[in-house]
Amino acid sequence: MAVPGYHACMRAAILRPAIAFASRGAWVLLAVGLCAAAPAAAQSDEGPRLGVVNAERLLIESDAARAAQARIEQEFGERDRGLRAERRVIDDMQGALERERRQLSAAALASREESIAVRRRSLQREEERYRDAVNERRLEEVRKLKQLADDAVRRVAVDEGLDLVLQDVLYAGPRVDITPKVLKLLTGAP
């Protein structure tokens, strides 16, 4: 026997706290609450419709993610090759110094060691700037991808008539997993 207003009450009781809490623990509590409410909702014809999306898969497997990775590699590829070449030059200088160490005077040895040390420090600073630039660019691309993925998830949720979409859950059966549909939408496949 369905209680009048039950579904509206359940949505208010379950969905509002979900919006208020953003921590993983809150999502787990929300899922537990929904599971506890499922038997009662199953007795009626209509209950909250859930969907689950694997955000990590969207950020790795989508065509947009692959294109972003390719853009980053193209943008920073030449700089990376330059840093690797400088690393090889320094290693070669160090190897030559080790081979010639016995034939060099103390002053020449000290001069070459200082030259190598200066180049090594310069390379380390440049590598750190490179890593920072790559990480900043990667975060920028991830923000763009996340926005695209969020828009696609919303479209799938509306199209499927879902009341709530969760992400990063411990387990989701194929019946509620909307990740393949979102991936299809992100790739533009019909």
Q: Which helix (H) or strand (E) holds 124?
A: helix 106-160
Cα gap 106→91, rounded to integer Å: 21
In tens, the pLDDT along 101-112 reads 899 899 999 999
Residue spans of the domains in the chain: they are 1-48
Measured distance between the N- and C-terminal CA atoms of the chain, rounded to whole angstroms: 41
Give the pLDDT mean for 3-15.
Answer: 39
State the pLDDT confidence band at 45, using cuts at 50, 70 and 90.
low
Q: For residue 21, is pLDDT > 70?
A: no
Q: What is the mean pLDDT of residues 114-118?
A: 96
Asked whether the predicted pLDDT for residue 144 surpasses 70, the reply is: yes
pTM beyond cutoff 0.75? no
Q: Average pLDDT, whole number, for the chain?
A: 80
**pLDDT exceeds 50 at position 26:** no
The mean pLDDT of 24-29, rounded to a whole number, is 46
Q: Mean of the pLDDT values across residues 152-176?
A: 91
On the question of pLDDT at 168 being above 90, the answer is: no
pLDDT of residue 189: 53
Lowest-confidence segment of 36-50, 91-105, 114-128 by average pLDDT: 36-50
R_g over Cα of the chain: 28
Listing DSSP states for 22-42 in one string gives: -SHHHHHHHHHHHHHHHHHHH
Which among 8, 6, 26, 10 is positioned nearest to 18, based on CA atoms? 26
